[in-house]
Every structure is written in structure tokens, then in C-alpha cells.
A and B are shown apart, each in its own frame.
Chain A
Amino acid sequence: MGGLKEVLYYMFHPNQLRAIIQWKVWHEPVYQRDPSKEAPTLRSCFEFLNMTSRSFSAVIQELNHDMLVPVALFYLALRGLDTIEDDMTIPVSVKEPMLRDFYKNMKIDGWTFNGNGPDEKDRELLVHFDDVIAEMKKIKPHYYDIIEDITIKMGNGMADYAINAQFLAGVVTIAEYEKYCHYVAGLVGDGLTRLFVAGGHANPALLQRPELTESMGQFLQKVNIIRDVHEDFEDDRRFWPKDIWSKYVDKWEDLFDPKNRTQALHCTSDMVLNALKHADECLLYMAGIKEQSVFNFIAIPQTMAIATLDLVFQNPKIFSSHIKITKGDACQLMTQSTQNLRLVCEVFRKYSRRIAQKNDPRDPHYLEISMALGKIEQFIETLFPSQNVKQVKALHTEKVNDSTSGEFWESLMLVAAVLFFLLLVSALMLGAAWVMGARWDTVLNMGSASSVEEAAKITAKIAHGEL
């Protein structure tokens, strides 16, 4: 049944199918890992990577050989922390010190943990964490130091949240919201930027502008938080800051009541506007990446994020179901994100214009959203100007050579030509009808007599004897 549905869907959406085929057939990874040359512990690490992450695993495995293992291990270390933090069967008194000391365990040969609840989905990772630790020992020390530093920071951040009962009731201010995004995404970005710079794959200037890295993480995380609002609501979690939603509804659950649709959409616009402000800094960050496989790795999630932002904007479905961009769109985005910054900018421009088209003047954030989108477009223009001084000069000279007074007569000629063709076509049609024996007399007499009466008169004229 599902298969049939899919076939029907792609029959009516050939572009989607085309994008999928294009990605599957024509995408050639810049680098590919070679499992035959890997140690068993490393192979095991990639199995865990596949197991714990759907979206990141593929892009990580296409990274260049220098970055491949450090980034994968970095991901697994953070995932290990996450697995402890997420598990509600571990009492806080155990959890808090464990999170803070996790980086120490990373240094202990053969350390594993099997205290996770049986339902914890990534339980296996910690049960076999000794494989990750074994591989950590092999990477370059300066890469290890970066991973360790972020693991310490994130462990402490998670521990703070774990003992903070207030946070469990939900985020209140926008500052808290951004702080949360910093811990779950900004820190990851920080670690990645340092790895890329250390490996010579990114411009060291990125380290001088930490706000760019921060925006990368904030943008991704905020978009996810907006999109997952319904899923989180069902799991009894809330990341939308109260300072935003309380402007539109009194109680959090009211946002999901279809009666409050308009209010809920206004609230979403507020959240979207808050996320949009990071977009230009994300583009600037990407301009600092010097290596293709790293560029692909960071650009894909970003274009997915702007497309998701378009998807959730003015979309009431986010409050009743879990929505995602279509597979075809995702494939197209991946194709476009694995080339160059110009194309990624085009994707940003395309989706920001789509957001603009859905912008509703009655929305309280109409103007601000429009301004935020204008800012993105202007920023893209500063990166890739579509007009330059030389072109403009040429344009002016051309204009001068063109006689401007001819404009009026040109337009007149155009209209005359259109009228002439209309008349010509009408004449041809009427002529053809006449040749084929159309009876103008009956058509013209229609007003005075109905065709039935006409027929009666004709039959009346014919003598009965003839029948």
C-alpha cells in the first residue's frame, strides 16, 4: 500500500523523483572511507555512528581522511554524554557527577557503562564505549584536546540543566533559550571550527569571530526546536521560551488547540524571526571553509535548515504532526550544498523569497520578517554582487545609444501588432467556418426566432405529399 502511494506521489511530482535519482546516481563523494583498512575498533565506532545518527553519519563518512576519525569520535563522545543525560532511569545524584566527569572516563582504557535503562535507544554505545576510547588514543593530540575541552564544557552544561528543576519546567526567557541552544549546538560548532582550523581546512579568522560559529549552531538548533514542537509537546518537553509564547496564549497547551490557530501561527512567526537573524552569519561562516568535504559537511545541514524554516512558516501542521521536508527536496538540497558557496547562497535566496511570499501583513511580525529577509538578500549581494560598476557603466552607454524617445512608438507598435494578430486570427476562423458552410443567416436571426420554430417553418414549407 505504502509502495503504491509512493509511486502515485512520484508520478505527480516528477521533479522530486528527478532530484532523488540525481543525488543517488550522480553524487560522488569527495572522499570515502575504506573499511578494509580500518582497525576493528574503528569499524565498530562507525557502526555506532550509523546506529546513533541518521542524518550526520553519511556526511561525516564523506569527510577527508584527516577529519574523518576526529569528527566521528567527537560526535560519539557527545552522543555518549547525551545518552546519560537523556536516561530518566538514572537518578540525578548519579547523573550529575557522571556528566561532569565523563571526560575523565574517556581516558580510562576499557571503560564501559551498562547502567542505562533497557529502553535507552543508544544504550549499546556506552556498553561498548571501550572501542571509542581505544580510537581516541590514536588521534593527534591537538585534536584530542579540542574534543576533550568541548566534552568538559558540554558535560558541565548538561549537569547544570539536570539539577535545575526550573529548567525542567521549560525555558522562560530568550536568553535562556539561546543559552540552551549554545550548550546543545553552539559548543559542537565551536569544537568543529577548532578541529577544521587545526587541520588547515578553514580560515583561522573564524576563531577570531566566535559569533559566526555560534550562529551556525543556533540556527540549526532553533529550526529543529520550531519543527519538533509537537513531538516535544507529546514527550512533555518544551523549548519554546515562555517570553515568546506567552504573548499569544495563556497556557502552553493552548498553542496546540485548533481554536487558537491564528495565535499559534503568530507565535511561530515570532520564533521564525528569531531564527532568521542568524542566517547571514551562517553564510559568512561558510565563506571561511577552504576544503570541499568540510564545506559539504557543514553546508548540508544549513540548507536543510533554511528549507525547514520555509516549511514551518505559516504552517499550522507543526502543531498537530511531525513534519519534514520531502525526500526529493532533501536530495536536491544535498546536490546543491555539495558544490560551492554561490549555490548555497542561491538556496538561501530561494527559500528566503519563498518565506517572503507567505508572509502575512496581518501578522504582528510581518515587517520585521520582511526586513530580516531583505537583510539576507542584501548580504548575499555583498558576497556575490550581481551588478558591478563596469557593467553599470556599460549599461548607461548602451542606453545613450538607444534612442529613448522611441519608447512610446515601440509600445504603440507592440499594441498594434497584438491587435492586428487578434483581428487576423478572428478573420481566419470566421473564414474557415464560412468555407465549411456555416450558416450566418440563422446565427444572425437567432435573436428573433428560436431554432425550433425555424425548423418547424422549414418542415411546414415542404409539402406533405413529398414525405
Chain B
Amino acid sequence: MVIGGTGFLGHHVVNLILQRYPKSRVSVADRSVDRNRRQPEDGVQYHQIDITQASALSALFGNVRPDVIIHTASPLPQVDVSPTRELYDKVNVHGTRTIIAACRTYDVKALVYCSSASVVCDHTSDVINADESRPRVRGRDQPEYYAESKVCSLPRDAPIMPGAAIDVFDYKQSQAEDLILAANAQHPYLLRTAVIRPSAIIGEGDLMIVPRLIDIYREGKVYFQLGQNKNLFDFTYVQNVAHGHLLAAEALLACSTSGVDNDGKGVDGECFFITNGAPILFWDFARAVWVQAGCAYDIRRVWVLSRFVAMILAFLSEVFFALIGKPATFNRQRVSFSCMTRYYDISKAKARLGYEPLVSLDEGIQRSVKWCLDQEKTKRA
């Protein structure tokens, strides 16, 4: 069962399951079941549900009796609605708790949770080739930090998008991670768990990264470069993320069935960063998207704003927009994000999950851009 299976990542997980295990019984539980649906002949059962409603969720589990849960549901930062702290708390933390309880009641064997690679990222300092031993940026031990951290205007993985509570999001992901990992191999329950942390997901259905870059292209702003473009960044094609989830699910199912405990080389009770394994300079990625979208990009026309200058301008823009009472689209967070190094070492996923990206970054960008342009066309038509 894929929770959040009609969402961006979730429906790719469903697609990959159907492709890889055509005989399996697949069901989807999601808040909305109208979008990203498979054809009826594919046999996917769609259930509309609010995962924070314990009784409804329990009833669904009792009805479907799933072996494997892939949990990808999470409120995504939207363009104009800033989800509140409460919403994250409710879905990411409380929702996850409800799911774990239901898993225990109905003898679910494997639970794979989709977290975020930004749990180790404080959104200002660099993350250079981080592996899973890197500590998360914790709010619980430092309540001051989070209490005072303002609701900033960046979504979790989109560089250029205003309007989301990212610190809170990651904090809640972090808390949810703890819940998931603590639920692993707790006898007498059969449940084994693992956490996947993808970084900057792109692909068909992505509403944040590539579409936002294409907007910038449409607005004719492709020649502004913030920072020196020396910062490597990990972007991940969505199908590779789905692949990572399925590999984890398979491994968990195997160890739950055999009853073997994790000897320090296993998958259960572990976190895994999943990326394309191809870190790339931030603005190189943006330019590759623009060129793919048809831009005849002339590198000689680029205006480089150093991080320092850009920060001052962004600050002035924040002051200006604060005065006229609107959220600033150009702000310091955005500058900091596009000047920040953020890439991960995925050798743990390679060694323990046998993970290798299925689709190259190159191909991933092509597909994402094509999807966005098709969306534009249908909108116009």
C-alpha cells in the first residue's frame, strides 16, 4: 500500500511497483484520489483517507491487510499557502504515529518512510558530501532555535519558491524519522522500518523545481547568476527515488520474514540518502533546464552578483516588500539557497540497498522539462 500514492512521488512509486511486480496487489491511500490515477484495468485500489484519523486508517488496514507500506504522504509547500506548524505536526508526526500503530495492529511487515535529505541541512551552511552519520539539525534538543526560527519562505527542495515553512517541515520530518526508526524490530511485532531521504526531486509531476525554473525563463531572467556558481547540488529524478523505496521495501520484507536482526550491515532501522549520484553546479543545472526548454543561452551575457551583493539587494527587497506588505519573492533565503553547496554521499544506499540510479540526470532533466512544457500547452489549450 502506498500512502500518498497520488502525490508527486507516490504515483511514481505506484507505477514502478506495477512495472516491477505485475502480480502484486496495489492499493493507494491518499487525501485526494482524483489526481494521478492509474487506468482501472491496472487494478489499483484507491482509498480516500485522512491519515491522521486513527480509526479510519485502522479500518482501512483491516480491510486491505497490506504486507508493505510505503509512506510518502506529506503536505508540500504550496506557492501561496504557507502550511502551518500545526499542519506539519499533524501530518508528519501524528500521521506517522497513527500509521505505525495501524501497522502493528495488522501485522504489516515492512514500512518505508520518505523523509528528506534536508534533515541534515540548516539552510545556511554547506552540506558537502554528507553521509548518514551526519547529525540532523535538531529542534528538540534546542527548542530556542526552533521557537525563534521564523517561518521562512523556502520550500524544502525548491530554490526559488516563496511561501513555505521549511525549517518546521524538516524538523517534523526529523521527528517522524525518529518515530519510524524506533518502531523497527520491536518484538513481538513483525514490523521492520527504514527511512529514505531523497534530495531535490525532479520529474513528471514536480511542481516546484523545474516549473519554477521555466517560469524564470519565461520572465526573461535567466542571465542573473547569484554567487560564483561553485556550489555543487544533488538533484534526483523521481523514478530513482521510487526505486530506492522499492529496494528498501524488498529488503525489509526479507528480513521481517526471516526474522534476522540487523548486524550493522542491514537495511532495517536505517536511513538512506537517495540522489542521482551526480552532483552538479547549481546554475549549471538551471541552465541545462533552460536550454532544454528551448533557450539559446549565451554564457557571455551572464550577470554575476556575488553572494554578498545579492544578500544586500535581497535584504533591501525584503524591506521594500515588508513596507508595502507583500511577501518578497527575492529574499535572502533564496540567495543563500542558490549559493549553497548541498550534496550527499550515497555509498550506503549503494552498498546496502544495491541502489544505482535507473535514470541519468541528463535523461531526468529532459523528461521533467518535456512534462512541464506539455503542461503549459494543455493549460493554454
Binds B, one of A193-201, A335-343, A368-376: A368-376
User: Which A residues touch B130, using CB under 8 A?
Assistant: 387, 392
Cβ of B239 to closest chain A Cβ, rounded Å: 18
Contact in complex: B284, A367 (CB < 8 Å): yes
Contact in complex: B315, A360 (CB < 8 Å): no
Q: A378-B129, A396-B122, A415-B315 are in contact. Are A362 and B150 (CB under 8 A)?
A: no
Give the CA-CA distance A375 to B280 in the complex, in Å: 8
In the complex formed, the residue of A with least CB distance to B278 is A371
Contact in complex: B284, A399 (CB < 8 Å): no
User: Which B residues touch A361, using CB under 8 A?
Assistant: 284, 287-288, 290-291, 297, 299
Contact in complex: B129, A382 (CB < 8 Å): yes
Contact in complex: A392, B134 (CB < 8 Å): yes
User: Which B residues touch A356, using CB under 8 A?
Assistant: 229, 281, 284
Contact in complex: A385, B129 (CB < 8 Å): yes
Contact in complex: B230, A370 (CB < 8 Å): no
Q: Does B378 contact A (CB under 8 A)?
A: no
User: Which B residues touch A368, using CB under 8 A?
Assistant: 362
Contact in complex: A366, B129 (CB < 8 Å): no
In the complex formed, the residue of A with least CB distance to B149 is A404
Tell me which of A370, A399, A405, A415 contacts B312 (CB under 8 A).
Answer: A415
Contact in complex: A374, B291 (CB < 8 Å): no
Residues facing A in B38-55 (CB within 8 A) are none
User: Which A residues touch B220, using CB under 8 A?
Assistant: none
User: Which B residues touch A378, using CB under 8 A?
Assistant: 129, 232, 279, 343, 345
Q: Does A359 contact B (CB under 8 A)?
A: yes
User: Which A residues touch B279, using CB under 8 A?
Assistant: 374-375, 377-378
In the complex formed, the residue of A with least CB distance to B290 is A361
Contact in complex: A400, B281 (CB < 8 Å): no
Binds A, one of B11-19, B70-78, B84-92, B140-148: B140-148
Contact in complex: B315, A366 (CB < 8 Å): no
Q: Does B128 contact A (CB under 8 A)?
A: yes
Cβ of A224 to closest chain B Cβ, rounded Å: 28
Contact in complex: A362, B297 (CB < 8 Å): yes
Give the CA-CA distance A414 to B298 in the complex, in Å: 35
Tell me which of B150, B299, B345, B362 contacts A371 (CB under 8 A).
Answer: B362
Residues facing B in A432-466 (CB within 8 A) are none
Q: Does B126 contact A (CB under 8 A)?
A: yes
In the complex formed, the residue of A with least CB distance to B347 is A382
Contact in complex: A367, B280 (CB < 8 Å): yes
In the complex formed, the residue of B with least CB distance to A397 is B142
Q: A361-B297, A378-B343, A399-B145 are in contact. Are A385 and B280 (CB under 8 A)?
A: no
Contact in complex: B126, A387 (CB < 8 Å): yes
In the complex formed, the residue of B with least CB distance to A365 is B362
- 17 further A-B contacts with Cβ under 8 Å, apart from A362-B299, A368-B362, are A353-B230, A357-B229, A361-B287, A361-B290, A361-B291, A361-B299, A367-B284, A367-B361, A374-B232, A387-B127, A392-B130, A393-B135, A395-B125, A396-B135, A399-B122, A405-B148, A411-B315
User: Would you mind naming 15 contact pairs between A and B with Cβ atoms under 8 Å apart?
Assistant: A362-B296, A366-B284, A366-B287, A370-B281, A374-B278, A374-B279, A381-B345, A382-B129, A387-B126, A387-B129, A389-B134, A389-B135, A396-B122, A399-B125, A412-B319
- Ordered nearest first, which 8 A-B pairs have the shortest CB separation? A381-B129, A361-B297, A370-B284, A361-B287, A374-B279, A400-B142, A367-B288, A371-B278
